[in-house]
Structure 1
Amino acid sequence: MATTKPYLTGHFTPVTDEVTATGLTVEGSLPPELDGRLIRNGHNPKPGVTPDHWFKGSGMVHGIRLREGRAEWYRNRWVHTPALDGAPYTTDRGPDLTASTAGTHVIEHAGRLLALCEANLPFELTPDLETVGAYDFGGTLRGAMTAHPKEDPANGELHFFGSSPFPPFLTYYVADAKGEIVHSAEIPGATASLKHDFALTRGHVVFVEGNVTFDPAEHSGIPYGWSDAQLSRIGVMPRGGDGAGRIRWFSIEPGNLLHAANAYEDSQGRIVLEGPTVDREGFRLSWNWWVGAPDRGTEPGARSYTRRWVVDMAAGTVDEQIIDDLTVEFPTINEQYLGAEHRYQYAVSFPDEKGFGSYGIVKYDRTTGARRIHQVGDARLPSEAVFVPAAGATREDDGYLLTVTSDLKQDASQLLVLDASGLDRIATVHLPRRVTAGIHGSWIPDTAPDTTTR
């Protein structure tokens, strides 16, 4: 029977099986330094399963292996968690942190490939994407882990948090480059506001609390909703063992941020944070799409505009402004500049709430204010653009953007390799099937990238 859920139709129609294909067709020339795997995660419920919220669809990872100018393989695998077989998250003993969709993100740290969902423990995968099982950092992680950890390019530390609708609302962790948790702290003053992402600078950790917060009366799939009574705030905490006790909270305008592009200290010592945000109407439109409400709303990105906050710690003030009127989401940067002042950032563009505009990959030059868009074509939706540095890179945008497109007209998908400097297409890898539109992913190089401090 045909579904009316928008997150199970069109670009988001789930695939029904797991496949492996080798010797993929390549148009153009793959740069030889692309030696590794692009792995992307997203929600893909099993056949016959209709979740009541997009976020509750079981996770499926898709991998593409590149080596020496060839596309060696594509494979897709469900993340085999208890939830895939119907195990409930809520039990008589409390939340089951292993009953995860594991469908939001996938990263590698300290040699472990981890599929992430913010309400649960990570799930470890093999290099070939088979499921190993829940991973709790050797028993030292006893709560949920965000789907958006940050790896410090200077020392390889992994910074992350766990959030909860109940006290403690926010717990901060640091794992060293070997994958051992070396610091954890409950963050004072945090609330039940939804915290999906955060930011890391050279000297600070930056949390964002928006107007979306825990709402036990919300029964449309996930118990969160917009609240005018929930204050929007930025929390700035010094990095280091005693940082939690020195966190400061700054009020900002109403809104909700899902994904931070980056944050850094500017030349005056102020904290600069950027990322797409939505207002109340933008959240309503997105939520209606996520839950398949009669007013279907619009795909992720409705009324989502890039905003900049400048936090002056000395003055105790925040200056904020929308810096672009293009509808975008899924911001990315050259991760070697994470926590440092960056010039370029990338995002996926979406049609606005009235249907104007198109899908594409956007590049922003924060120095000149220029904006460039790579149009992917009619009836095609690109995935988050993952930046991979070029060999011997000397400029911030020396590198490549990897994005997987869903092509409805051809019922197919391609991996596009774009020049991150000019957004020109360098190569196209034809995949053996249409890949379900997903959320986040990572490039896993076979050799560690240069992490020279920027």
Structure 2
Amino acid sequence: MTTMPFISDHYTPVAQEHTAHGLTVHGTIPPELTGRYFRNGHNPKPGVVPTHWFKGAGMVHGLRLRDGKAEWYRNRWVRTPALDGAPLQRPDGTIDLTASVAGTHVIEHAGRILALQEANLPFELTAELDTVGAHDFGGKLTTAMTAHPKEDPATGELHFFAYSPFPPHLVYYVADAAGEITRGEVVDGAGPSLMHDFAITENHVVWLDMSVVFDQAERSGIPYRWHDDYAPRIGVMPRTSGTGVTWYDVEPGALLHVANAYEDGTGRVHVEGPRFDRTAWETSWKWWTGAPGHPETPLAGAVHHRWTLEPGTRRAKEELLDGLPTDFPTINDAVLGRRNRYSYAVAFPGGGLHQHAVVKYDNTTGHRQLSELGAHRVPGEAVFVAAQDGTAEDDGYLLTIVNNTKDNTSEFVVLDAHDISAPPVATVELPHRVPGGIHGSWIADT
């Protein structure tokens, strides 16, 4: 029996697809929660043992909420060629962009639901989680697509990119609110680093060219390693066409997920998110690959950090905002790219697999608040949904799936974003355990 941590314990895959109707609700589901909550994650088929956490087949778990009821739960594999073993590289050496595990994220834009994995094309799903097929934006997307696109809350545009260890290393795209690609251009000056995420502000795009770099010697199937000899940088590029990137030197580090980025009144750009140093990265990588000496949790040592990029310079001011290990940051997307007061993340306060929590950061006061979900109750990424008549940035709810690792059950949990330590607003009993996963979205009815 395998002991790979990413398919064991909290992360043990489920072997079947299920559909359940009329789920039991405790508490009251707020009326504005009318829509679908979808969450993606890696769930290889029975008997399949990937060489890396990120290489497991994607499975999306979904709930349909309406009129205070949880009408259904479904879990479905994303049916891509990779689900049945097709490799990314064909025998003739060409790349099959449809051979995606599609297991990192699931979003909605312009009426399409897309399952994402950054080395491939997105895969379109129906509202009931059936797989439609690869989506290439009418032939205009000829590269892979990041798993972390950003939708501008003011314009509805979707900003995204493709990165590659081979030139061109970075290509930037914009799709309009109707889902049509209106811009695609090579970004000059980028290198062969691991660019899992990026950021937008009102006027700029922010690129992360940092210390984890393409390395063919890495045998886990994800050919990237930390390199002290690579000069880490953050790039700031105006969102207007035809303009270059200003690269800012930063200390060695890695950033898988950006909490947010924004400009202040002086033109400075601020970037926030959980930063890895070399030890944190290499320790986490051991978990992701199942290497000897791996930690109990998938994230070991990434901490809340801010970079402040001064216009007219090539240097950045760097600040440790909190020493609590965290990742999977989220915000109220209405302030994406604008100054945000609050952010949320999954925290690892005890360091053990069964000691996760949700944390809320107040970036004005520096205060942090932890959820109190109880022993053996392990939450995942918390997705923010605004309250119907809310006025404050944190007027709303956090949605997450919580596993009880003692009795092997799962619940969908609605927290009050004002006070995440309070008892849940509502919980929904799920018909079976849901493995620990990655990213998700709330898709409101329109």
- TM bucket, shorter chain: over 0.9
Q: Does 1:358 align with 2:387?
A: no
Say if 1:41 and 1:440, in contact at 8 Å, map to a contact too.
Answer: yes
1:314 Cα deviation from its structure 2 partner: 2.7
TM-score normalised to structure 1 length: 0.96
Secondary structure of the structure 1 residue equivalent to 2:98? coil
Equivalent AA in structure 2 for residue 172 of structure 1: Y
- How far residue 93 of structure 1 moved from its aligned partner, in angstroms, is 3.9
Whether the aligned pair in 2 keeps the contact of 1:173 and 1:181 (CA below 8 Å) is yes
Which of 334, 340, 343 matches 1:342?
340
User: d(CA) in 1 for partners of 2:247 and 2:340?
Assistant: 25
Spell out the pairing of 1:241-320 with structure 2 (5 A cutoff). Answer: 241-243=241-243, 246-320=244-318
Contact preservation (8 Å) 2:377, 2:403: yes
Equivalence map 1:151-166=2 (5 Å): 151-166=151-166
Q: CA offset at residue 375 of structure 1? A: 2.5
Q: Which SS does the other structure have where 1:75 is aligned?
A: strand
Q: Residues 167-220 of structure 1: CA distance to partner in whole angstroms, max 9, x if unpaired?
A: 000000000001010001101110000000000000000011121110001112
Q: Which residue of 1 aligns with 2:107?
A: 107
CA contact (8 A) 2:332 2:393 kept: yes
Q: Point out where structure 2 has 5 or more consecutive residues left out of the alignment.
A: none
The answer to whether residue 413 in structure 2 is matched with residue 416 in structure 1 is yes
- List alignment gaps of at least 5 residues for structure 1: 448-454
Contact 1:231-1:251 within 8 A present in 2 as well: yes
Contact 1:302–1:352 (Cα < 8 Å) also in 2: no
Corresponding residue of 2:196? 196
Tell me the residue number matched to 2:402: 405
CA distance in 1 between partners of 2:215 and 2:45 (Å) = 28
Alpha-carbon distance in 1 for matches of 2:139, 2:439: 26
Q: CA deviation at 1:301?
A: 2.0
**Could you say what secondary structure the match of 2:322 adopts?**
coil
Deviations 1:22-81 (A, max 9, x none): 100011111011000000000000011111111000000000111111111100000000
CA-to-aligned-CA distance 1:322-351 (integer Å, 9 cap, x gap): 110111000000000001001000001014
Dislocated runs of 4+, deviation >6 Å: none
Provide the secondary structure at the position in 2 that maps to 1:326. Answer: strand
Q: Deviations over 1:375-401 (max 9, x none)?
A: 222222211000000001111000000
TM-fit CA distance, 1:94: 1.5
Which stretch has the larger CA shift, 356-365 or 426-435?
A: 356-365
| Superposed displacement of residue 431, structure 1 | 0.4
* TM-score (norm. length: structure 2): 0.98
Aligned partner of residue 97 in structure 1, secondary structure: coil
Question: Match of 1:406, as an amino acid?
Answer: N
The alignment of Structure 1 onto Structure 2 pairs a total of residues equal to: 443
Equivalent position of 1:27 in the other structure: 26
Return the letter of the residue paired with 2:108.
E
Please tell me the root mean square deviation across aligned C-alpha atoms, in Å. 1.2
Alignment correspondent of 1:232: 232
Aligned to 2:169: 169
In the alignment, is the contact (CA less than 8 A) between 2:248 and 2:313 conserved in 1?
A: no
1:68-147 paired onto structure 2 within 5 Å? 68-91=67-90, 92-147=92-147
The within-5 A match list for 1:365-380 is 365-380=362-377
User: 1:241, 1:376 → 2: CA distance?
Assistant: 47
1:73-101 per-residue CA deviation (whole Å, 9 max, x = no partner) reads 10000000000011111111421110000
For residues 305 and 344 of structure 1, the distance between their equivalents in structure 2, rounded to whole angstroms, comes to 16
Cα-to-partner distance string for 1:380-432 (whole Å, 9 max, x where unaligned): 22110000000011110000000101211121100110000111211111100
What is the percent sequence identity of the aligned residues? Answer: 59
SS in 2 for 1:323: strand
